[in-house]
Amino acid sequence: MAYQDIFAALADPTRRQIFENLRDHPKTVGELAKGQTVSRPAVSQHLRVLQDAHLVSVEPQGNRRLYSIKREGLKELRDYLDCFWSDAFSAYRAEIAKVMENKGEE
Amino acid sequence: MAYQDIFAALADPTRRQIFENLRDHPKTVGELAKGQTVSRPAVSQHLRVLQDAHLVSVEPQGNRRLYSIKREGLKELRDYLDCFWSDAFSAYRAEIAKVMENKGEE
DNA sequence: TATCTTGGTAAGCCATAACTTACCGTAAGT
DNA sequence: ACTTACGGTAAGTTATGGCTTACCAAGATA
C-alpha cells in the first residue's frame, strides 16, 4: 500500500464523493448509495477501492456494514506532498545555459 | 481548477513519475523523456495535464522548454486533505442503533 | 424455518484516457 | 538559406476501469 493507490482512489469523482460523504460521520452502504446516482454495487466496488487504499474502514454492525473514514491513507498522502516543499530547484534556472551547450551527449 | 484535476493528474503512475522527476530541479522535455519508457509525445501530453492541474510551470528557454514544479497545485491538495482532520465522526458510532430502527424510510 | 434486508462478488459492456506514429512550427547552428 | 534539434498537436488504437444486471451469502424478523 502506498500513495499510488490513494491517488488512484481519490481520482474518481464518484469515489471521492463517497469519501467526502463519509466526512461527517460513518455511514452504511445503503446510506451512501442513497446519495449517489450510481447503483449500490457500484458503491460497494468504490468502497472496496477506498478500503484498499486505507482511506476507509469497515465495522460490521449486524446486517449492515458501517464505513468510516480512516485518516491513515490521508496521512500517507500528506507525507508524500511534504516531500515537494524543498527549495532545491531555485538555483537551477541559470544552469540551463550550460545545458544548452552540451547538446548531443547520451 | 481544483483538487479534482490534481488528483486525476497524479493518479497516473507515469505522470507522477514525471512529476517526481521534476522534484530536484527543473528539466526540459527531452530530459524528462529520457528517463521514461514512454515516447516523448506522451511525456508532452502528460506535462500538459500536469500544467492544467497547476502542478508544473513552463519557462521557454530558447529552443527548449523548461518545466518546473509549481507548489500551487500541491497547496490546493493539502488544503483539501486538511478538511478531513475534524473529529466529528467519533460520536456517531452509537447513533447507528437508531438507524437500525427506521429501515424503509425514503 | 421461511422470508426479507443488506451488501459483496461475477460477468460483461462501454467510455475514457494513455500510448503510438506522423506531422508541423520554431529556434539554433553551419 | 538550409539543416538539425526540440517539442507541441492530431489521429487512431488499445487497454483500463467504472458501470450495469444477476447472483449469492449472512443476518434479522416473523
User: What distance in Å separates the CA atoms of residue A93 and residue B26, rounded to the nearest whole number?
Assistant: 7
Residue B106 lies in a domain: no
Report the number of distinct structural domains present in chain B.
1
At B21, list the grid cell: 522527476
Q: What is the pLDDT of residue A78?
A: 87
> Residue A56: what pLDDT?
96
Best mutation site among B17, B24, B70, B89 for testing chain A: the one with the most A CBs within 10 Å?
Answer: B89
Put simply, the answer to whether B69 touches A86 (Cβ < 8 Å) is no
- Given this model, what pLDDT does residue A105 score? 26
Q: Number of C-alpha atoms within 13 angstroms, CB side, residue B12?
A: 16
Mutation site, B15, B20, B96, B102, interface A, largest A CB count within 10 A: B96
Q: Is residue A27 part of a domain?
A: yes
- Per-residue model confidence as pLDDT tens for chain B (106 residues): 578 999 999 999 999 999 999 988 999 999 999 989 999 999 999 999 999 999 999 999 888 999 999 988 888 888 888 888 754 444 343 333 333 333 222 2
CATH number of the structural domain spanning residue A94: 1.10.10.10
pLDDT at residue B1 in the model: 54
Whether residue A52 is contained in a domain is answered as yes
Residue A106 lies in a domain: no
Task: Using an 8 Å CB-CB cutoff, list residues of chain B that contact chain A.
Answer: 4, 7-8, 10-11, 13, 16, 22-26, 28, 59, 61-62, 64, 66, 68-69, 71, 74, 77-78, 81, 83-86, 88-89, 91-93, 95-96, 99-100
The cell 466526512 sits on which residue? A23
**Nucleotides of strand C lying closer than 7 angstroms to a protein CB:** 5-10, 17-22, 26-29
In this prediction, residue B99 carries a pLDDT of: 36
Predicted confidence at residue A3, as pLDDT, reads 86
* Rounded mean pLDDT for each run of 10 residues along chain A, 106 residues in total: 88 95 92 93 97 94 93 88 64 37 27
Helix (H, G, I), strand (E, B) or coil at B6: helix
In degrees rounded to 5, what are phi and psi of residue B9? Answer: -65, -45
DSSP character for B48? H
Residue B41 contacts residue B47 (beta carbons within 8 Å): no
Q: Which nucleotide is nearest to A103 (CA to C1')?
A: D5
How many C-beta atoms surround the C-beta of residue B16 within 10 A?
20
Judge whether B68 lies within some domain.
yes
For B16, residues 6+ apart whose C-beta sits below 8 A from its C-beta are A4, A7, B10
Q: Do A71 and B81 touch (CB under 8 A)?
A: no
Task: List all residues 6 or more positions away from B82 whose beta carbon is below 8 Å from its beta carbon.
Answer: none
B96: exposed, middle or buried (Cβ count in 10 Å: 0-12, 13-18, 19+): middle
Q: Is B55 contained in some domain?
A: yes
The residue whose grid cell reads 509549481 is B70
The pLDDT, as a whole number, for residue B86 is 56
Decide if A87 is inside a domain. Answer: yes
Residue closest to A8 by CA, chosen among B14, B21, B57? B14
Domain hosting A11: range is 3-101
What pLDDT shows up at residue B78? 86
Q: Which nucleotide is nearest to B12 if distance is taken from CA to C1'?
A: C18
